[in-house]
Chains A and B, each alone.
Chain A
Amino acid sequence: MKTIEEQIRAMEAQWPGFKLISQADDRSAEWQGVLAPDKREHVVRIRYRVPMVLENITLKDVQPRVQVLRPLLEWHADYEQGPIPHVYASHADPKLPYLCLFSPAGREWGTGDFISDTTVFWAAEWLYFYEGWLVTKKWRGGGQHVGRTADGVKQLETV
């Protein structure tokens, strides 16, 4: 498992444009930076808290939280996989959903991974296909299909 200091050092080295905004405690960090995978710049926030060894927490819950602060992600219910493809809802701020960047059930990311080697790249890729989604109205970035419950809320499928 990587410590928060190791994550911070790796982020500084790999993504100097991402600034460490805050550290709520000695296990947490919050970065903010700009990703422009196509032409448009997106201000992105990444929050991460290293779990305690004995904490009973799933990979889905421990994953870094990635949100696009500006410009806000557009919602298009009539586009393929709309209103926004591949996100988790945020109850705290529905306008800032979390990007779904990997399959927790497939264990494609773990606490031994550097955010700088995985999450930031995946966020850039996600935003690139999001830009393509805005142009074509089709999601061409691949991924798992999600099921929908009777009330229309998306649910993760078992991998």
Chain B
Amino acid sequence: MNVAYQGPWPQLSEADASLMDVARRIQLSKTKHEVAEQNFRALCQHVDREGSPLHKRVIECYPSGSFATGTAIASRVAKNQHDVGVVIELEVAANTNPQMILELLFEAINGEQGSRYHGKVTQNSRCVTVKYDDGTTVDLMPIARTSGPQRTGQLFHFKAGESYHKPVNPWGFADHFNRHVEFDPAFHQVFKGRRLLVEGEALLKAETQPMPDHCPIEEKSSRVVALQLIKRNRDIVWRQAARRNMRKPPSVVLAAIALDAGPVAPSLVDETIAVARAIRTKLLDKSGPRGTVQVLNPAYALDVFTDRWPENLHAQNLFDSDLRRLIVELYRLRNDDLSLQDRSELLRDLFGESAASYAIESHLDVRRHEMEASRMQIGPKGKVVTGLAATTVATVPRTTAARPATREGGGHLPE
């Protein structure tokens, strides 16, 4: 016998519900967050260990970029993999040779043969990457602190033919973002309600658990969730073979522009469209040194976020056309009465197979909970009415079955 779900039953459109389901799938779980934090802290201690070439040179380590702003998403959703950016502040002169710093950091982490991270480390132009056995990566970016606003520094850039320092303040940006991004308590309630509804039994479990002290930012702010969706779409588009060697629009650029996207919209679809539009509007700017857009760190104007992307106007226009396509498809998701098949294909094209499958399965699970609780609304011709439209159905005398029933089956029936 079916057990009816008791609620909550949040009121939201099917398009918003689908995007919330996609967002939950691409977000990092609390466990993953904790593991990532443990990983990078252990890594920094390893760099500072006795015998390391950087022993007693580590001032501080803290997450940067998406991880610090709550906008992190899984890099491979099906495998639940993610990449963490970490700043490692070193007590070295700001004008130290970049090649030397990066090589020292590489040696400090890689260690001797047989040591913890040996063979898992790669030196890049601005950071050193450690790849864990589960595919998760941590990018450690060394900076030297400089005088200026809190925690400003110089990063070290080195690759064949290029060696320079660049003023940065990733901590300042994360702090600025977290202080300025808008929260909407109503969004939090609906987002949480949707999760409980999809998971069905979670409410019963949650009732016995104490409320968490800290509500993650990605559950409070539709702007943060919209940014996650835009980044996920960017990552999916960049899986195309033609984009393989092209630089992605950096997450920090998108986050900085998103802060200027105006008041948050109550609907997640509308909010995602608004942020994508704000980015497109910014992309009209071609005042940078390469004749392309220029985005600065709002916490430290010397820190130019667009120093490497877009490489040229073509790269800028390409991303603009990606955003245009995203907006068009989001309008279709919001305005058209899509079949399950069409909805699945649209979500797959925008956000990838794993996230789309999860969203469609979540949609069906919610319908099942409605059916079992005698809340499924059936219109003329047996049309299953979903989302906000379900609250306005009154075209036939009865819109729900007299009672829920349990599917059975097997054997045969006599004619």
Interface of A toward B, CB cutoff 8 Å: 13-14, 17, 34-41, 60-61, 63, 65, 85-92, 98, 100-106, 108-109, 113-114, 117-118, 120-129, 131-132, 134-136, 138, 140-144, 146-147, 153-157, 159
B400 to chain A: which residues have CB within 8 Å?
Answer: 121
- Inter-chain CA distance A84–B414, complex, in Å, is 19
B367 to chain A: which residues have CB within 8 Å?
Answer: 128-129, 132, 140
- Inter-chain CA distance A129–B337, complex, in Å, is 17
Stretch at the interface among B122-130, B153-161, B247-255, B379-387: B379-387
Top 7 closest A-B pairs, CB basis? A143-B407, A124-B382, A154-B410, A121-B401, A100-B409, A35-B382, A102-B405
Most buried by B among A60, A89, A106, A132: A132
Interface of B toward A, CB cutoff 8 Å: 1-2, 337-342, 344, 357, 360-361, 363-365, 367-368, 371-372, 376, 378, 380-384, 396-398, 400-403, 405-415
| Chain B contact surface mostly | loop
With A14-B398, A35-B382, A39-B339 as contacts: A102 and B406 at CB distance below 8 Å: yes
With A39-B337, A125-B384 as contacts: A106 and B1 at CB distance below 8 Å: yes
Q: Are B378 and A103 in contact (CB under 8 A)?
A: no
Q: Are A131 and B380 in contact (CB under 8 A)?
A: no
Excluding A85-B409, A88-B413, 20 further A-B contacts by CB distance (< 8 Å) are A14-B396, A14-B398, A38-B340, A61-B414, A85-B407, A86-B409, A90-B415, A91-B412, A108-B406, A121-B382, A124-B383, A125-B376, A129-B364, A138-B361, A140-B367, A143-B407, A144-B407, A146-B409, A154-B411, A155-B410
Q: Are B402 and A118 in contact (CB under 8 A)?
A: yes
* CB of B401 to closest CB in A, whole Å: 4
Q: Are A123 and B403 in contact (CB under 8 A)?
A: no
Name A92's closest neighbour in chain B (CB-CB).
Answer: B415
Name A121's closest neighbour in chain B (CB-CB).
Answer: B401
- Inter-chain CA distance A123–B376, complex, in Å, is 13
**5 A-B contacts (beta carbon < 8 Å):** A39-B340, A88-B409, A118-B402, A140-B364, A143-B408
A89 to chain B: which residues have CB within 8 Å?
Answer: 411-413
* CB of B64 to closest CB in A, whole Å: 38
B396 to chain A: which residues have CB within 8 Å?
Answer: 14
With A140-B365, A141-B368, A146-B409 as contacts: A134 and B401 at CB distance below 8 Å: no
* CB of B267 to closest CB in A, whole Å: 23
- Inter-chain CA distance A152–B372, complex, in Å, is 30
Q: Are A147 and B410 in contact (CB under 8 A)?
A: yes
With A138-B361, A140-B365 as contacts: A127 and B409 at CB distance below 8 Å: no
Q: Are B340 and A156 in contact (CB under 8 A)?
A: no
Q: Are A90 and B406 in contact (CB under 8 A)?
A: no
With A103-B405, A124-B378 as contacts: A88 and B368 at CB distance below 8 Å: no
Most buried by A among B1, B408, B415: B408
- Inter-chain CA distance A141–B404, complex, in Å, is 12
Q: Are B340 and A35 in contact (CB under 8 A)?
A: no
Q: Are A88 and B407 in contact (CB under 8 A)?
A: no
Q: Are B2 and A37 in contact (CB under 8 A)?
A: no
Question: Which residue of B337, B338, B340, B405 is within 8 Å of A118 (Cβ)?
Answer: B405
Q: Are A101 and B340 in contact (CB under 8 A)?
A: no
Name A35's closest neighbour in chain B (CB-CB).
Answer: B382
- Inter-chain CA distance A88–B414, complex, in Å, is 10
B397 to chain A: which residues have CB within 8 Å?
Answer: 13-14
B363 to chain A: which residues have CB within 8 Å?
Answer: 132
